[in-house]
Chain A
Amino acid sequence: MKSATSARAAAVIARQPRSVSATGRSFAGSSKFGALVESARNLDLFETVSLLTLVLTVIFGFDHWLFHIVARICLLTFVLYPRSLRTPVLWLALALTGTITIILTWELVDNHKYLLDYWLWVLFVVHLFAQPERQLRILLFSARFLLCLTFLAASAQKLASPSYRSGEMFEYYLYVDPRFAAFGKLIGIDPSVGEAVKKRTMFLRSPFAEVQGNDIQIVGSNRARVAALMMTSWDASVQLAIGLLLLIRRQRTDQIAHILLLFFIFTTYIPAPVFGFGWILAIMGLALAKDKFPKIAAAYLVSFFAILLYQLPWRDWVLKS
């Protein structure tokens, strides 16, 4: 048992110096980003994607005790037996638990949790096959499909919604949604405007208040209106463009789609704290870009760190300042 573990650990260690030395040679005289690009090129796609997904399940997984336990057991299993990452059983356990969690509270589960569960099932299917070519085909097809589905379905829902198209949604959320409070302040919306709107909303919601005609005028802010309209057009057009460009499956269009996706990830998750969503999109983007676009793959690696950094309590700092 002990010797088997040592052999596995040795195998993992033996793999690393090769890539480090290869990377090391190219480090000389090149920029730090160049070194990162080289590292990204040397990564094993399946191991990297699998490991990033496992980390995702632990830090931004399903908010249910059953999933917490299973994800942590899987992480521990990986730490003790690194090869478990390539076994279908580990992914089956995670995917099945994720599915159970979704079924239990499907009306409340966020969309990116569905996306995470699809991805866990994809990794289960990938690891069922022994042939790397087949694994690669399934992984790349699924990553592209899920990215297209996510962005095209999202943009279709947005374009079909009058409250989205009019800018009503983002303007209202800039006033009442605490997630946007700090962002609103940064772009110059006085927090007192949002507070006043929230107070008026409370009158509408309370059974101990009767509002004339159930209609309340709010002060609002022109800046919020402009920002909401900009967010509306930017959000829908970027998402539609990513989905459509990835559908075309050409080198050039893929490249533009990746740049837009990276732009989306780097910018969206600053105001919107849906970090798990950003992380899963970056994993899929990395899977697609790894062999074709090493620089873009390196940028995806940076995005994982950026998403983690976005969790800094900067919203509290902005609101208190």
Chain B
Amino acid sequence: MLCVPLVALVIVGRQIYLSTRYGLSTWKGGGMGMFAAADERSNRYAKVFLVNSDGNRDPLVQLSSEDFDVLSRALEYPTRENFLRAAKKIARENWIPAYQRRPVLNVNSDGNPIGAGDKSYRVMMPSEIQSDSEGKKSSMEIQFWKISYDPRTRDLRASLAETFAFTSEELFRNQTKQKNS
């Protein structure tokens, strides 16, 4: 008779522990904290960069729905392991650059664009053609951001919560192992 209530209590306790210690979203994990905090995917996002061997970074924005799903899991439960899983999935795509670079738009604090900045990125697109995994030397950086809103000042503030860097060895370890065996 008490087994279900006991399990439910343990899960609530686990959710509170993971939320406090590892940043699990208040909304998820069975802690009944839906609509309890501005702390879920509406307020959490990631910027994913492919880092080339020369140190240049290219943002990856054209992610597939499967990539988004894995990334969403990491955003809800932002551990290194979960972001590594997302990074591996994203790195499996064959990312190729478009011809033109896209300048980074500068935006003022009123939310109005004020022109292109000096910085620019290559627009990366996933290609259907699968490249040889040995040719992939890029590493990956995933920035985990949070948005907060101050109702008194009406300011939306984005803050970088953590940056996760993954080496090419980490990203392609399994593929290399499979190839060697």
Give the B-binding residues of A (Cβ under 8 A): 102, 105-112, 114-115, 118, 121-122, 125, 137-138, 141-142, 145-146, 149-151, 153-154, 157-158, 161, 163-164, 166-173, 176-177, 196-197, 199-201, 203-220, 225, 228, 235, 272, 274
Tell whether, in the assembled complex, residue A208 and residue B8 are in contact, meaning their CB atoms are under 8 Å apart: no
Tell whether, in the assembled complex, residue A107 and residue B77 are in contact, meaning their CB atoms are under 8 Å apart: yes
Tell whether, in the assembled complex, residue A111 and residue B30 are in contact, meaning their CB atoms are under 8 Å apart: yes
Count of inter-chain pairs, beta carbons less than 8 A: 202
Convert B25-45 into 0s and 1s, putting 1 for each residue whose CB lies closer than 8 angstroms to a CB of A.
111111111111111001101
Contacts of B104 in A (CB 8 A): 207-210
Tell whether, in the assembled complex, residue B76 and residue A108 are in contact, meaning their CB atoms are under 8 Å apart: yes
Tell whether, in the assembled complex, residue A164 and residue B37 are in contact, meaning their CB atoms are under 8 Å apart: yes
Tell whether, in the assembled complex, residue A149 and residue B36 are in contact, meaning their CB atoms are under 8 Å apart: no
Tell whether, in the assembled complex, residue B156 and residue A200 are in contact, meaning their CB atoms are under 8 Å apart: yes
Given contacts A168-B149, A172-B149, contact A207 B49 (CB under 8 A): yes
B150 contacts partner chain A, Cβ-Cβ < 8 Å: yes
Majority SS of interface residues in chain A? helix
Contacts of B7 in A (CB 8 A): 118, 121
Given contacts A168-B150, A172-B43, A207-B47, contact A213 B109 (CB under 8 A): yes
Interchain residue pairs A-B with the least CB separation, the first 3: A207-B59, A157-B33, A153-B32
Query: What are 22 A-B contacts defined by CB distance under 8 Å?
Result: A108-B76, A109-B30, A110-B28, A115-B32, A146-B5, A150-B32, A153-B33, A154-B32, A154-B34, A157-B33, A161-B26, A164-B35, A177-B42, A201-B147, A203-B105, A203-B113, A205-B45, A207-B47, A211-B108, A215-B157, A216-B155, A217-B111
Partner of A108, one of B8, B28, B150: B28
Partner of A157, one of B26, B156, B157: B26
Least Cβ distance of B120 to chain A in Å? 9
Tell whether, in the assembled complex, residue B107 and residue A107 are in contact, meaning their CB atoms are under 8 Å apart: no
B82 contacts partner chain A, Cβ-Cβ < 8 Å: yes
Q: Most chain-A Cβ atoms within 10 A of its Cβ — which of B31, B109, B117, B156?
A: B156
For A211, the closest partner residue in chain B by CB is: B107
Convert B99-112 into 0s and 1s, putting 1 for each residue whose CB lies closer than 8 angstroms to a CB of A.
00010111111110
Tell whether, in the assembled complex, residue B8 and residue A225 are in contact, meaning their CB atoms are under 8 Å apart: no
Known: A168-B150, A170-B35, A219-B154. 18 other contacts (CB 8 A): A108-B72, A108-B76, A111-B30, A112-B34, A154-B36, A161-B33, A163-B38, A163-B148, A168-B149, A176-B42, A196-B111, A204-B145, A207-B61, A210-B107, A212-B106, A216-B110, A216-B111, A218-B111
Given contacts A107-B76, A204-B156, contact A167 B107 (CB under 8 A): no
Give the A-binding residues of B (Cβ under 8 A): 1, 3-5, 7-9, 11-12, 24-39, 42-43, 45, 47, 49, 59, 61, 69, 72-73, 76-77, 82, 102, 104-111, 113, 117, 119, 121, 145, 147-151, 153-159
Tell whether, in the assembled complex, residue A210 and residue B105 are in contact, meaning their CB atoms are under 8 Å apart: yes
Tell whether, in the assembled complex, residue B119 and residue A210 are in contact, meaning their CB atoms are under 8 Å apart: yes
Least Cβ distance of B157 to chain A in Å? 5
Tell whether, in the assembled complex, residue A211 and residue B31 are in contact, meaning their CB atoms are under 8 Å apart: no
Q: Most chain-B Cβ atoms within 10 A of its Cβ — which of A106, A112, A149, A199?
A: A106
Tell whether, in the assembled complex, residue B156 and residue A216 are in contact, meaning their CB atoms are under 8 Å apart: yes
Tell whether, in the assembled complex, residue B109 and residue A167 are in contact, meaning their CB atoms are under 8 Å apart: no
Per the bound structure, the CA–CA distance linking A177 and B148 in Å amounts to 15
Least Cβ distance of B33 to chain A in Å? 4
Given contacts A110-B34, A171-B149, contact A199 B159 (CB under 8 A): no
Least Cβ distance of A129 to chain B in Å? 10
For A163, the closest partner residue in chain B by CB is: B38
Contacts of A208 in B (CB 8 A): 59, 61, 102, 104-105, 121
Least Cβ distance of A203 to chain B in Å? 5
Tell whether, in the assembled complex, residue B147 and residue A149 are in contact, meaning their CB atoms are under 8 Å apart: no
Per the bound structure, the CA–CA distance linking A209 and B111 in Å amounts to 11
Per the bound structure, the CA–CA distance linking A22 and B96 in Å amounts to 74
For A149, the closest partner residue in chain B by CB is: B8
For B28, the closest partner residue in chain A by CB is: A107
Q: Most chain-A Cβ atoms within 10 A of its Cβ — which of B36, B38, B110, B155?
A: B36
